[in-house]
Amino acid sequence: MDKVTVLAQYLPPDAAPLIGRWIDYFKCEFKISRNRGTKFGDYRAPHLGKGHRISVNFDLNPYAFLVTTVHEFAHLHTWNEHKHKAKPHGTEWKNNFKKMMQPFFEKEVFPPDVKQAITSYLNNPAASSCSDLTLYRSLRKYDAPKESVHTVEKLPLKALFKLKDGRIFRKEEKLRKRYKCVEISTKRIYLFSPVAEVEVMPEA
Ligand SMILES: [Zn+2]
């Protein structure tokens, strides 16, 4: 399969051709990687005979995948211009990130709220990689909903739910900040955070 077709499965489709051209133009080894938990993407400068290398986690939604990809390409471009003289998320990187984001704004690949969050992120001098919560939250909103995972607060009263370890509970009333829930097998009462993620049981 050609590169742009593969990229279009991860990126907003209108963004794929340009990223494909960047990969060629910058002679970059671009890898779609497994989820590494602690980071969305990674850039490695040429070293010991290897060229530029970028990797981006496969499980990001298309907007987060694009923002991460542009973030890493801005590292590459900054390295080409300044080598070790520029700080990883310093002014030079930031200016390149802004500049390299422009074509995607012009193509209007982002929904308005994401565009807004990226713009304020770009204008915040303290912003660095993934530490901007507003940006992170607005990107997270576009993640596909997890299959049958719900939070305790969203369940109806008396609903049955299951934890990862297999134990089954029934949701009862709210006590102050938490929900009283009864473990079915032991009849013991537990208190659950409203945002605890649980699996919904089919109606008995
Ligand atoms: Zn970075």
* 134 neighbors 117 (Cβ within 8 angstroms): yes
The span from the CA of 125 to the CA of 118, in Å, is 13
> If you measure from the C-alpha of residue 89 to the centroid of ligand 1, how many angstroms do you get, rounded to a whole number?
6
- Residues 7-57 have pLDDT tens digits of 999 999 999 999 999 999 999 999 998 877 677 889 999 999 999 999 998
76, 54 contact by CB (below 8 A): yes
pLDDT of residue 145: 66
Closest to 124 in 3D by CA, of 142, 98, 100 = 98
CA distance 48 to 65: 28
| 87 CA distance to ligand 1 middle (Å) | 10
Q: Give residue-wise pLDDT tens across range 121-143.
A: 888 766 555 556 677 778 888 88
Q: What confidence score (pLDDT) does residue 28 get?
A: 97
Identify the helix (H) or strand (E) that includes residue 175. Answer: strand 168-175
Torsion of CA 109, 110, 111, 113, to 10 degrees: -160
Distance of alpha carbon 166 from alpha carbon 36, whole angstroms: 26
Ligand 1: centre distance to CA 165 (Å): 36
Q: What integer is the mean pLDDT of 165-182?
A: 94
pLDDT confidence of residue 106: 94
Asked if residue 23 lies in contact with residue 3, where contact means CB atoms within 8 angstroms, the answer is yes
- Tell me how far the alpha carbon of residue 110 lies from the centroid of ligand 1, in angstroms: 21
CA 111 / ligand 1 centre spacing (Å): 23
Mean pLDDT of 140-151: 74
pLDDT in tens, 90-115: 889 989 999 999 999 999 999 998 89
Ligand 1 centroid, distance to 50 Cα (angstroms): 20
Report the separation in Å between the CA atom of 197 and the middle of ligand 1, taken as the mean of its atom positions: 30
Distance 81 CA to ligand 1 centre (A): 16
What is the distance in A from the centroid of ligand 1 to the CA of 73? 9
CA of 112 to the centre of ligand 1 (A): 24
Q: What is the Å distance from ligand 1's center to 88 Cα?
A: 6
Q: Which amino acid is at 36?
A: R
* pLDDT, average across residues 140-153: 76
- How far is 144 from 146, CA to CA, in rounded Å? 6
Q: Are 114 and 142 in contact (CB under 8 A)?
A: yes
How many angstroms does the Cα of residue 200 sit away from the middle of ligand 1? 38
> What's residue 203's pLDDT?
58
DSSP H helices in 57-198:
62-82, 91-106, 112-123, 133-140
Residues around the ion ligand 1 (C-beta < 5 A): 129
- At position 112, the amino acid (one-letter code) is P
Q: What's the gap in Å between 15 CA and the centre of ligand 1?
A: 20
Average of per-residue pLDDT values in the chain: 88
CB 68 within 8 A of CB 102: no
